[in-house]
């Protein structure tokens, strides 16, 4: 398999940042040890990782793991690019000094992803002027981080301003190439989109991929019963690749066709009591490993 494609994982399989009671008792060492045993090459950051660059580098070196990236809670919807650039400094330094080429940007201003509110109450930009002003601030912010060697990977997310395929279309149309797209197959499916169609449309901007699967019956319940995002997570809306309805053979084939270079990151918010961490992390890895090995070999 070409080294340009690497398979990593987010510690959400073991411990949840939005809902710390899910796996909160699990030591970080358990996640790192098991992830390495399974075959993952790197981890994204979670709330139990050290935030000092050298301490993080030392920790990951102990397990021979790479730093994939790390979520950044941005608030460009309500503050200036200059304020955001100042706020991101420690996180950007942490990523840059540990070799991460992308930063997961999640817009958390007014987001309800961690709140006990139905998803229909998510924030929205209602005017062209609001969209344009947001895109302008995002462009300036992304150009700055890119000048430091780290590209913004914008995470469309349930409960946030940019959630649906139409939202993604608009954001990509209004921003420049400094703003990369984090394609999350699970979130875009939950948001009512066809994952492969959205990926094909925006493949040239995709610089990072989150691989989760979706259980459509649970998503239907979440919509019909006005669940919050966390209610949907607790009830099993997401799982790992190969355990839901997302067309991962098609997604991997699309990435191979367009010569994608970067990380595929298994990230599946679940309750580890119901979905045992090791077993599901292993299933996600094996699903992607088999598809990547077969598909990229054919593409070559």
Residue 139 pLDDT greater than 90, yes or no: yes
pTM of the model: 0.95
| CATH architecture under which domain 5-299 falls | Alpha-Beta Barrel (3.20)
Share above pLDDT 70 across residues of the chain, in percent, rounded to a whole number = 95
| DSSP H or E stretch at residue 253 | helix 248-257
What is the reported pLDDT for 2? 42
Q: Which of 217, 228, 229, 214 is nearest to 268 (CA)?
A: 214
| DSSP H or E stretch at residue 145 | helix 128-147
Summarize pLDDT for 226-278 with one digit per residue, the tens.
Answer: 999 999 999 999 999 999 999 999 999 999 999 999 999 999 888 888 888 99
Alpha-carbon span 55 to 193, nearest angstrom: 40
Q: Quick one: average pLDDT of 96-112?
A: 97
Summarize pLDDT for 220-231 with one digit per residue, the tens.
Answer: 999 999 999 999
User: What are the structural domain ranges in the chain?
Assistant: 5-299
């Amino acid at each position: 398999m070409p080294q340009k494609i690497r398979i990593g994982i987010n510690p959400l399989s073991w411990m949840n940042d939005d809902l710390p009671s899910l796996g909160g008792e699990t030591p970080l060492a358990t996640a790192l040890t098991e992830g390495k045993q399974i075959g993952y090459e790197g981890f994204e950051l979670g709330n139990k990782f050290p935030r000092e660059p050298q301490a993080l580098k030392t920790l990951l070196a102990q397990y021979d793991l790479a730093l994939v990236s790390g979520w950044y809670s941005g608030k460009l919807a309500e503050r200036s690019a200059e304020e955001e650039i100042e706020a991101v400094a420690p996180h950007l330094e942490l990523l840059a000094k540990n070799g991460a080429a992308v930063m997961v940007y999640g817009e958390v201003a007014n987001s309800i992803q961690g709140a006990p509110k139905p998803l229909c109450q998510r924030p929205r930009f209602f005017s062209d002027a609001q969209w344009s002003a947001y895109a302008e601030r995002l462009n300036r912010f992304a150009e700055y981080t890119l000048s430091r060697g780290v590209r913004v990977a914008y995470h469309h997310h349930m409960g946030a301003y940019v959630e649906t395929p139409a939202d993604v279309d608009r954001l990509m149309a209004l921003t420049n190439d400094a703003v990369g797209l984090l394609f999350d197959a699970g979130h875009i499916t939950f948001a009512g989109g066809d994952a492969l169609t959205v990926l094909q449309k925006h493949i040239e901007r995709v610089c990072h991929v989150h691989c989760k699967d979706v259980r459509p019956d649970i998503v239907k319940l979440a919509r019909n019963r006005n669940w919050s995002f966390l209610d949907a997570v607790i009830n099993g809306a997401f799982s790992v690749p190969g355990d839901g309805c997302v067309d991962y053979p098609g997604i991997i084939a699309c990435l191979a066709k367009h010569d994608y270079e970067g990380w595929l990151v298994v990230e599946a918010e679940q309750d580890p009591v119901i979905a045992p961490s090791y077993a599901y992390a292993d299933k996600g890895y094996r699903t992607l490993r088999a598809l990547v090995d077969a598909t990229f070999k054919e593409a070559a």
